[in-house]
Structure 1
């Protein structure tokens, strides 16, 4: 897998997650999520996922290979930050800078997995 493929797949998944969060399948409240309080995406997360997904898709098709690689590295670092930050902040409403909610431990583990995936893709040789 290369950075273009990572951005394409990751961007599409982020847009899908945002849509599912908005329409009441996995959010925007724990009561509306099929996963209940274990995992839901509030509107702050839905906005972030939609914007990041659109940016990733745009970069996958419009950016140079070098820029795609840099963006994939940035995704790895940002996902690592949020994965670790979620464990430090702990559970609770709006625990991420007062804007969004990271459910412990599922959101944190997912962010760490994305960090590992993006890191692997951005640093592996073609």
Structure 2
């Protein structure tokens, strides 16, 4: 069973992600701020993380940089969700190491298929 970390401070977004990802029979870890997410990444070493850009404590960009700098989790697939639709923001996140960027709102079915694809590639 795959483990997925959701790092988002929006309770509605967390519920949406949980509802859609439970269909994939994954173990879900949820954190509402960046420092706690960093700790979960270190300790739990999930198979994939879904990270919001705007998090209290540490930003999504800082979390991407952290993951990519840690040898034990550097290859972990990272999906970033953001309210910023600007092309420049997406490019910055992808250059930092995100595997995929979703702009809110997004189609849950597209998120599910992307998560499944990344988990399959990473297995």
Q: Tell me if both proteins adopt one fold, taking TM over 0.5 as the criterion.
A: no
Of Structure 1 and Structure 2, the greater helix share is in 1
Of Structure 1 and Structure 2, the greater strand share is in 2
* Structure number, greater radius of gyration: 1
TM-score, length basis structure 2:
0.29
